[in-house]
Structure 1
Amino acid sequence: MNKLVLVAPLLLAASAYEKVVDFFAPPATEATVTLAPAAAARVAGVRDVNTTTSVADVVTAANAFMATLSSSQQATLVQTFNATNVQKWSNLPVSPGSRLGLQLSTLTATQQAAALAVVQAATGTVAGDGFNEVQQIRAADDNLTANGGGSAYGSGIYLIAFLGTPSTTGTWMLQFGGHHLATNMTFSNGYVTGPTPKFEATEPLTFTTTNANVFPTGTACAPLSNEASAMLAMLNGLTTAQRSTARLTQTFNDIVLGPGQDGNFPATRVGLQCSQLTTAQQDLVVAAMAPWVQDADDATAASLLAYYRTQLADTYIAYSGTGNLTSTGDYVRIDGPNVWIEFACQSGVVYRNQIHYHTIWRDRARDYGGNFYTTVTGTQVARAAQLFSVYPSPATGGEVLQVKLAAPATTATYTLRNVAGQTLSRQSFRGDAVQVPTAGLAAGTYVLSLQADDKAPATHRFVVK
């Protein structure tokens, strides 16, 4: 079980629900308390994962979960991977049609444990992030129920769905979410191709559990405290002149790119460009990204953070409001060539005299594994260019595409899909070239994915006119 040293003001906030500013105040004394553990100690069958798991482990856990289900439950769990279904997530409490899959409260204890084991296998192991944070957000919903929120809240009102069939040879997505949580993890041919969009929020900011549904009774929780403290450190590391440049004139009462806003990234990045920062200040920007990125499995998180660091020169940070993350309307943004992170402070819904947090992590190249945006830039495109080329594009209807690999492959497979994610054709081949027919394709944008030997899959988009 993980232990975390928390300052005394957090204990006061947990009992009196004071503003989060108390949590970040300099400590007068220290007290050791039990923080929501990285392993779901209250759920039998969920492993305490201390090392990075592979996609094969996620698939194994998914198959073990499905083995506990009836045929009708399996039919509800496994849905089609397409542009409509991937958007079935929300920040709001669960309502009919808002999400896909099986609700935890409808499952037996054994089935719940198996479902959570899938989520744990797919997420990170850092205390306060990853699976630990998923569990804290669920526990926060129990707190809302116990404090007048009503039956719309609760740790059992979270749903799990598989979009596509879990495997190490195809494309599929794990969705897990409910109120204040949306986890969307896309896998393709044994690789994590997209850990975003990831929505996280919390109300209240700090609390102590009063039941044992998720953690032992008396567990101190502070969901998103890692995110808040890292964003605050980033802003506090700026000079007065830099803060002036980073400050936005607009006001924000919520995040901009929440549910239903796929692909609507602003055309122009605004705020303070990170190329103007010192190395130490740039380190604080990367550290501010980390609590979101570390929600993905450990290996994916390390790789993405390293890649986001290479894009710092063209990454911007911006804020609105007080910059203290203590008041309604306080807002912070990190906007890079790939990474997009927002942190917004809203008025409380159940705890009306407090603020609560809404946040989002998106990636221009990796949302939903890069399968449904028609204007994706970043590593998906760069990796595809290194692996294979497609000619001509645009193509005239009926014209045969010439696909050329950078190096001969012993075994390769291409998959042609439309932008809704429907598979139109698939063919395996060997060597360094293959022809892809376009006969019968209507004018529009299409996605050609290619997997060659043991390389990560790559995707090209092309247009038929």
Structure 2
Amino acid sequence: MNPSPTTSTAPVSRRLFLAGVPAVLLAAAGCGAASGAASPASPSAASTASAAGPAASGGVAALAQAFYRTLDADQQSTVLLDYSLANAKRWSNLPQGLLTGDGGGMPSGSMPSASMPSGGPGAGSDAPGGGPGGGGGASQSRVGINLGALDDQQLAAFTTLLKAATGSASGLGYDELEQQLNADDYLGTHGGGDTYGRKNFYVALLGSPSDSGTWEFQFGGHHMAVANTYVDGQLAGATPSFRGVEPNTAFELNGRTNQPLRVKQAAFTALLAGLSADQLATAKLTDTFTDLVLTPGKDWQFPASRSGVKVSTLSAGQKKLTLAAIATYVDDIADDDAKTILARYEGELDSTSVAWSGTTALTEQNDYVRIDGPSVWIEFSMQHGIVLSGNHPHSVWRDRSTDYGGTKS
């Protein structure tokens, strides 16, 4: 029996963090155990990118270059790859071990019978949510280098870069990501095995990080994808952006109480609670959504028409709740960039719709809510437990115009 997610766990030392935990004996197919600290993933092609271009001091490009300079030659060739859509699409919500085939099977613990891992394979139908068990992950493993391969100096430089690329609000941005990394460490030591943990999260620099040209800062792992694309020194897109977490209840780790998606979930709950009975009836979807619609690999497959209640018909207070829910995703990126994107979404708010399915509590399996606008697309979906008992959320933020920085080929 796994400990409850509220069980207190002592902070993990870096030595234990890098060594990982013993692999559990696994059954069937699913999220399995990788062996030790994962090896760097292979790039799709040899890179001609450079990390020596012009970059304003303190900016994301300059900090990416600084991180790159802490790496040895082999690590540099693994991290710095050409910018291409093929490389940019190498993200997933699955653990890396399952993508590479190193993971043997389902983790032990409180596993619902006949369940698939969150975002697991075998679910890629055209039905809402991709069928039982969750949407499919990308077919290829992530590119870049895993955090478990970095030393203290390299991790410090990476952390500085990550903080600069993400937001500063409590419970969002960098703070949310750190709690998500804690959650995956927690899974690793509470039944998930060596497949889980921050050591299995990957960072890549796609293209030449500088204030000219196009490049992407890519970071992700289980339940996480950060994809910031920059063009001529400006953020051109911060999506696809995936956030999920197991456990979804509060837990203690690394000297703090963690509940990474609490702010997002609370904002969606408040939005639905603020709608009248008639508005909820208009907004309710007839389908059951077992997972997200726009899972990894389903790029630009937005529905042809919008469903739900139109935000233009809502009161000023209800519109504010809608924008607040959107902001919990936009505020994951650097503060100044977030203001620019949120202003664009606010200008399109009257042409945006809100829809839901399941229950409005957003605590039960298959509870689902969506915000769909001319640009913004956000989904939040409750899944069954995989390593631990209890439901947990998946969520994705996409943009019809600026996914992958607008790159479509």
Instruction: State whether TM-score is above 0.5.
Output: yes
Superposed, which structure 2 residues align to 1:275-290 within 5 Å? 275-290=312-327
**Contact 2:5–2:247 under 8 Å retained in 1:** no
Q: 240-249 or 96-105: which moved more?
A: 96-105
Consecutive unaligned residues in structure 1, runs of 5 or more: 1-12, 18-41, 43-53, 211-215, 373-418, 420-465
How far the C-alpha of 1:235 sits from its partner, in A, is 0.3
**Residues 1:89 and 2:91 aligned together:** yes
Residue identity in the other structure for 1:262:
D
Residue identity in the other structure for 1:77:
V
**Contact 1:14–1:220 under 8 Å retained in 2:** no
Match of 1:319 in 2: 356
CA distance in 2, matches of 1:342, 1:121: 26
Match of 1:268 in 2: 305
> What is the SS of the residue equivalent to 2:397?
strand
How far the C-alpha of 1:56 sits from its partner, in A, is 5.4
> What is the SS of the residue equivalent to 1:209?
strand
Structure showing greater radius of gyration is: 1
How far the C-alpha of 1:72 sits from its partner, in A, is 1.4
Match of 2:21 in 1: none
How far the C-alpha of 1:16 sits from its partner, in A, is 6.7
Aligned residue among 59, 62, 68 for 1:60: 62
Match of 2:39 in 1: none
Residue identity in the other structure for 1:89:
W
Structure 1 moving runs of 4+ over 4 Å = none
**Contact 1:55–1:192 under 8 Å retained in 2:** no
**Residues 1:15 and 2:6 aligned together:** yes
Superposed, which structure 2 residues align to 1:147-166 within 5 Å? 147-166=190-209
How far the C-alpha of 1:207 sits from its partner, in A, is 3.4
**Contact 1:65–1:118 under 8 Å retained in 2:** yes
**Contact 2:379–2:396 under 8 Å retained in 1:** yes
Superposed, which structure 2 residues align to 1:281-430 within 5 Å? 281-352=318-389, 354-372=390-408, 419=409
Residue identity in the other structure for 1:15:
T
CA distance in 2, matches of 1:110, 1:209: 26
**Contact 2:6–2:252 under 8 Å retained in 1:** no
Residue identity in the other structure for 2:267:
A
Residue identity in the other structure for 2:394:
H
**Contact 1:55–1:122 under 8 Å retained in 2:** no
TM-score, with structure 1 as normaliser: 0.67
CA displacement, residues 346-379 of structure 1 (integer Å, 9 cap, x when unaligned): 0010113x0000000001111111121xxxxxxx
**CA-atom RMSD in angstroms:** 1.7
**Contact 2:7–2:251 under 8 Å retained in 1:** no
> What is the SS of the residue equivalent to 2:300?
coil
**Contact 1:56–1:190 under 8 Å retained in 2:** no
How far the C-alpha of 1:113 sits from its partner, in A, is 1.4
How far the C-alpha of 1:206 sits from its partner, in A, is 2.7
**Contact 1:55–1:190 under 8 Å retained in 2:** no
**Contact 1:144–1:203 under 8 Å retained in 2:** yes
How far the C-alpha of 1:57 sits from its partner, in A, is 1.4
> What is the SS of the residue equivalent to 1:148?
helix
CA distance in 1, matches of 2:250, 2:267: 20
> What is the SS of the residue equivalent to 2:199?
coil
Calculate percent identity across the aligned residue pairs.
Answer: 43
How far the C-alpha of 1:55 sits from its partner, in A, is 8.9
> What is the SS of the residue equivalent to 2:189?
helix
Q: Pick 1 or 2: higher relative contact order, CA cutoff 8 A, min separation 6.
A: 2
Residue identity in the other structure for 1:355:
N
The structure with the greater share of residues assigned to strand is 1
How far the C-alpha of 1:15 sits from its partner, in A, is 2.4
Residue identity in the other structure for 2:330:
V
> What is the SS of the residue equivalent to 2:170?
coil
**Residues 1:120 and 2:163 aligned together:** yes
Consecutive unaligned residues in structure 2, runs of 5 or more: 9-16, 18-55, 101-139
CA distance in 2, matches of 1:207, 1:66: 35
CA displacement, residues 220-261 of structure 1 (integer Å, 9 cap, x when unaligned): 011111100000000000000000000000001111101001
TM-score, with structure 2 as normaliser: 0.76
CA distance in 2, matches of 1:293, 1:108: 31
